[in-house]
Structure 1
Amino acid sequence: MFLGTHSPRLDEKGRIILPAKFREELAGGLVLTKGQENCIYVFSAREFEKVHADMVGAPMQNRQARDYNRVFLSGASDEVPDKQGRVTIPATLRSYAGLDRELVVIGAGNRAEIWNAQSWETYLQEQEKAFSEIDEDAVPGNTK
């Protein structure tokens, strides 16, 4: 499970050093893809297979499902971290997420997310107030 907030930097070759806490789970391979809110989702290869299996179950007749699958999968890149725990983020994904040198990597349960540091701060400021006001009935998976 991916948890926490980390602040690595993007090097001049477009690589990021994965947070130490995430390396074991991602050592066998990972998939980077476009995330919502202009971040990059990072899945272990095993978790990405589960996500993909769920996507395959969506009816092809559903236009929203087709559109989502196209954007999500066309931007995907499978990668293997090097011995130092570095992974290259493809230029198309760096551009999509507006990544520059300063990054934030957050744990989001079944995935990690890579954010432009300023975009993350803006997003977090907007969401923290709403977070404190969320009704327990609106939280997915919340059982009483």
Structure 2
Amino acid sequence: MFLGTHAPKLDDKGRVILPAKFRQDLESGIVLTRGQERCIYVFSAVEFQKVHERIRQAPLTSAGARDFLRLFLSGASSESPDSQHRITIPTSLREYAGLERDLTVIGVGDRAEIWATDAWNDYYAAKEADFSSTTEEVIPGIF
């Protein structure tokens, strides 16, 4: 399970070392793709296959489902860590997420997300007050 907040750096070749805590979950391979809110989703290959199976169940007659599937999968890239545990983030994904040197990597349970640090800080500042003052059930049966 991916948990926590980490602050790795992007090197000049577009590579990042993902947190050591995440390595076991990513042994089966890594898939990067466009995330919502302009971050990059990081899935294990196994989890990505599960997500793909769920979204491919959407009817082809749904324009929204077709749009989502196209954008989600056309940005996907299968990556393998090198001997120093670095993965290369493709240029198109770095541009999509506005990634520069300072990154924030967060664990979101079944995936990790890579954010430009400034974008994460802005998102966090905008959403934290809402999170703290939640008075209704957001996730059925949980909170």
TM-score, L = length of structure 2: 0.96
Residue 24 (structure 1) shift: 1.2
2:24 corresponds in structure 1 to: 24
| Aligned partner of residue 57 in structure 1, secondary structure | coil
* SS of the residue 1:100 aligns to: coil
Which residue of structure 1 aligns with residue 40 of structure 2?
A: 40
Q: What whole-Å deviation, never above 9, does each CA across 1:82-113 have from its counterpart, x for those lacking one?
A: 12211000000000000000000000010000
- Relative to structure 1, the CA distance from residue 143 to residue 123 in structure 2 (aligned partners, 3 Å threshold; closer, same or farther) is closer
The answer on 1:83 being equivalent to 2:87 is no
% identical equivalent positions: 58
Change (3 A) 1:41 1:94: same
Find the aligned partners of 1:110 and 1:143 in 2 and give their Cα distance. Answer: 17
Ranges in structure 1 where 5+ consecutive residues have no aligned partner: none
Count of residue pairs the alignment pairs up: 143
Runs of 4+ in 1 over 3 A off after TM superposition: none
Q: CA deviation at 1:143?
A: 4.5
Unaligned 5+ segments in structure 2 are none
1:5-24 Cα distance to aligned partner (Å, 9 max, x none): 00000001100001000011
**Equivalent residues in 2 for 1:1-144 (5 A)?**
1-137=1-137, 139-143=138-142
The Cα offsets for residues 15-60 of structure 1, whole Å up to 9 and x where unpaired, read as: 0001000011112211000000000000000000000000110011
Secondary structure of 2:28 counterpart: coil
Alignment RMSD (CA, Å): 1.1
